[in-house]
Amino acid sequence: MSEFSTQKLRVSYSAKTVIDSMDLNIPREKITTIIGPNAAGKSTLLHAISRLLKPASGQVLLDGKSIHAMRSRDLAKDLGLLPQAPSVPQGIRVAELVARGRHPHHGVFGGWTSDDEEAVAAALLATDTLEIAEENMDELSGGQRQRVWIAMALAQQTDILLLDEPVTFLDLTHQVEIFNLLRVLHARARKTIVVVIHDVNLAAHYSDHIVALKSGRVFAEGAPEEIVNFENLRVIFEVETIIISHPQTGRPFALPIHQ
């Protein structure tokens, strides 16, 4: 499994620094969630570590090598990204979209191979989208679409998978469905999964490791039991909460205190 980290990472928009001198090690083979208030730098961090944004200084390292020194095709074999609300090509079928995940594995003259066929079939099966493989993406529900996008990322066959707010526009049923899927995929393939999410309780329930951002810096990181507590949430989100333990898992669950 790949080592993935940042060193003194600083990311700016025009003259405004959004991520400031950040050192961060992403735990291998874990589900890490990135939480924090609006404008804390969550999506900016994800975009920087996926090379969508170029840092003003510092670096993002994959196995000790700067990702900006890597060829795009080589990076795409190690790192998969599901952006927030990706646009769907008009009229594309599910199987066609998932097949696009195989692009990094093709050379200039590379054609479709049995390995590609197997990778796409495995991704469809893992995400329970095989039965809708011939359907048009425009005809699917929000939850089904997210499963297909995850299938495309799985077909890419990377060690690391980054997801930017994958459940923001979904109802509770589909939010739970997507995170249950991520847990199953993690258990099967031991991928390193990094998810930007707003919901602290979903983060606490489904992740192994939480990174809490505040004003472009890492305020705290660790296991859910270490991060989701009264004092941290008071400082990070400026809200007071009651912390209870989930009756089944024992994990922390935050309830806001009405003022």
Q: What is the DSSP string of 29-50?
A: TSEEEEE-STTSSHHHHHHHHT
SS3 label, residue 11: strand
Residue 129: the pLDDT is 94
Q: What is the pLDDT along the chain (259 residues), one digit of tens a residue?
A: 568 999 999 999 888 899 999 999 999 999 999 999 998 999 999 999 999 999 999 999 998 899 999 988 889 888 999 988 788 888 899 999 999 998 888 755 567 788 889 999 999 999 999 999 999 999 999 889 999 999 999 999 998 999 999 988 889 998 999 999 899 988 888 889 999 999 999 999 999 999 999 999 999 999 999 999 999 999 999 999 999 999 988 999 999 997 6
| 65 strand-pairing partners | 62
Q: What CATH number has the domain bearing residue 31?
A: 3.40.50.300
Residue 185: the pLDDT is 87
Q: Distance between CA 1 and CA 18 in Å, rounded?
A: 29
Closest listed residue to residue 193, CA positions, set 219, 224, 166, 161: 161
Q: What does residue 76 show for φ and ψ, rounded to 5 degrees? A: -70, -15
Q: Distance between CA 182 and CA 188 in Å, rounded?
A: 10
Task: List Cα–Cα distances, 160 to 133, 153, 237, in angstroms.
Answer: 25, 10, 29
Residue 202: which residues within 8 A CB-CB, separation 6 or more? 33, 167, 175, 179
Where are the extended beta strands (E) located within the chain?
4-13, 16-26, 31-35, 57-62, 65-66, 79-82, 160-164, 192-196, 209-214, 217-222, 241-245, 252-256
209-214, strands of its sheet edge to edge: 79-82, 160-164, 192-196, 31-35, 209-214, 217-222
Q: Could you list the residue range(s) of the whole structural domain that residue 90 is in?
A: 4-256
* CA angle centred on 109, ends 189 and 114, rounded to 5°: 40
Q: 225, 252 in Cβ contact below 8 A?
A: yes
Please state the domain count of the chain. 1
Residue 162: the pLDDT is 94
Radius of gyration for the alpha carbons in the chain, expressed in angstroms and rounded: 19
